[in-house]
């Protein structure tokens, strides 16, 4: 059975959660800037945060290239758009990774990293891994992208003080406009008790801070 991590946060559930997720999902993604698209190699990454938790930027790795519009930390139920391109006078392409931390409460965090590539030689790729290593995310990038679901279940109470559980799901779709989606998915109590986790692969990188 997957482990359960208890967090001290009032969990949004049911129709309210669904509505907020839909609002983020349908939010328009801006077109890449013309100056960015004029570069030899470029990539625009959108991370949709379909969770109630803030996302903190923790690290960057470049195998080649640079940020055109750098990422940062951002809030719940919103999206982050950042972009990268080849270095000036160095048309080697752009490839790297960015790491983030989902802030679950004042003590618990969930680390993940995204990989993205648009090299001079090779294919456009993307990845997501449960890790704090942006470099490892770059190394894990595939032309088919990928997804993961946290093996651990996170547990808290809803606004009616009822116990509720959820998992984190993240997907990575490659392209010059790569799309990464971070989801908060409710898990029925019966499934938790039975140890049944849909797509439950990998080990969640959960950090618990000491008092």
CATH number, span 4-208: 2.60.270.50
**82-93 average pLDDT score:** 89
In angstroms, rounded to a whole number, what is the distance separating the alpha carbons of residues 35 and 29?
A: 17
pLDDT tens digits for 98-125? 999 999 999 999 999 999 999 999 999 9
CB atoms near residue 31 (< 10 Å): 10
- Alpha carbon separation from 106 to 111, 160, 209 (Å, rounded): 14, 21, 8
pLDDT at 204: 40
| Domain residue ranges in the chain | 4-208
In angstroms, rounded to a whole number, what is the distance separating the alpha carbons of residues 137 and 131?
A: 8
pLDDT tens digits for 39-58? 999 999 999 999 999 999 99
Closest to 112 in 3D by CA, of 197, 5, 204: 204
pLDDT at 3: 87
Its pTM stands at 0.90
């Amino acid at each position: 059975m997957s482990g359960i991590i208890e967090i001290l946060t009032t969990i949004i559930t049911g129709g309210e959660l669904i509505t907020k997720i839909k609002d983020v999902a349908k939010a328009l993604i801006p077109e890449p800037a013309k100056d960015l698209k004029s570069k030899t190699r470029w990539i625009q990454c959108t991370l949709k945060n379909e969770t109630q938790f803030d996302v903190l930027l923790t690290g960057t790795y470049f195998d080649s290239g640079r940020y055109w519009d750098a990422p940062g930390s951002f809030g719940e139920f919103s999206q982050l758009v950042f972009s990268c391109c080849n270095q000036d006078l160095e048309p080697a392409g752009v490839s790297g990774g960015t790491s983030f931390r989902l802030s679950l409460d004042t003590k618990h965090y969930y680390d993940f990293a995204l990989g993205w590539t648009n090299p001079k030689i090779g294919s456009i790729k993307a990845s997501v891994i449960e890790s704090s290593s942006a470099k490892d995310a770059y190394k894990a990038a595939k032309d088919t992208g990928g997804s993961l679901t946290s093996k651990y279940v996170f547990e808290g109470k809803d606004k009616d003080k009822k116990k509720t559980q959820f998992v984190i799901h993240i997907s990575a779709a490659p392209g010059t406009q790569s799309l990464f989606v971070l989801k908060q998915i409710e898990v029925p109590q019966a499934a938790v008790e039975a140890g049944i986790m849909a797509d439950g692969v990998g080990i969640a990188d959960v950090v618990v801070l000491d008092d």
